[in-house]
Amino acid sequence: MNIPSASSVSTAKGVSIESVANILERESRTVIEDWLASVGLESDLTAIPLTSDERTSHLPQLLRDLVARLRSKARSKASLSKAAGIHGDLRRAQGYTAGMTVQESRLLQVAIFSMLHKHVRCLDVNALLPDVAIIADEVDAQLKQQVLCFMAV
């Protein structure tokens, strides 16, 4: 007898219900691509000439950390992210302002939430709002670490 996992359950309508963590993990590349497209529309951000890889190199680790936190049974608090601190130092060296790092972070949240909206039929509605709160908290905590390192000169 096969028992469906809590992260993927079929409904009566045949739609497979998935966790936010699973969808985010699977769609990470799309989130990064959508984020990069949004950044491309922001003249203050594109005024800093960076390759796509230079602009997005921090995002895979940030998204992995976010997925890990969403999967955490204890729903832990955000931990200090060494990668976020390194990213803050890097952005400062690249010529960013602190405000530009905030803008990038805001665009990331929009990209994540837009991706979740596209998959809303597959999401467990009861877990959605708590998971959205965790996403916002984790992205903001990583932004805080970025800015702290950015400003520590």
Each domain of the chain, given as residue ranges in start order, spans 16-151
Residue 24 has pLDDT above 60, yes or no: yes
Q: How is domain 16-151 classified at the CATH fold level?
A: Globin-like (1.10.490)
Task: Evaluate whether 77 touches 68 at the Cβ level (below 8 Å).
Answer: no
What pTM was estimated for this model as a whole? 0.86
> Is residue 21 classed as helix, strand or coil in its secondary structure?
helix
| pLDDT tens digit sequence for 37-96 | 999 999 999 999 999 999 999 999 999 999 999 998 655 666 667 888 888 889 999 999
Task: Evaluate whether 112 touches 24 at the Cβ level (below 8 Å).
Answer: yes
Task: Evaluate whether 150 touches 101 at the Cβ level (below 8 Å).
Answer: yes
In terms of pLDDT, which residue wins out, 1 or 153?
153
* Distance separating the N- and C-terminal Cα atoms of the chain: 60
Interatomic CA distance for residues 52 and 4, integer angstroms: 39
Interatomic CA distance for residues 120 and 126, integer angstroms: 12
In terms of pLDDT, which residue wins out, 63 or 4?
63
Of 117, 139, 119, 118, the C-alpha closest to 59 is: 139
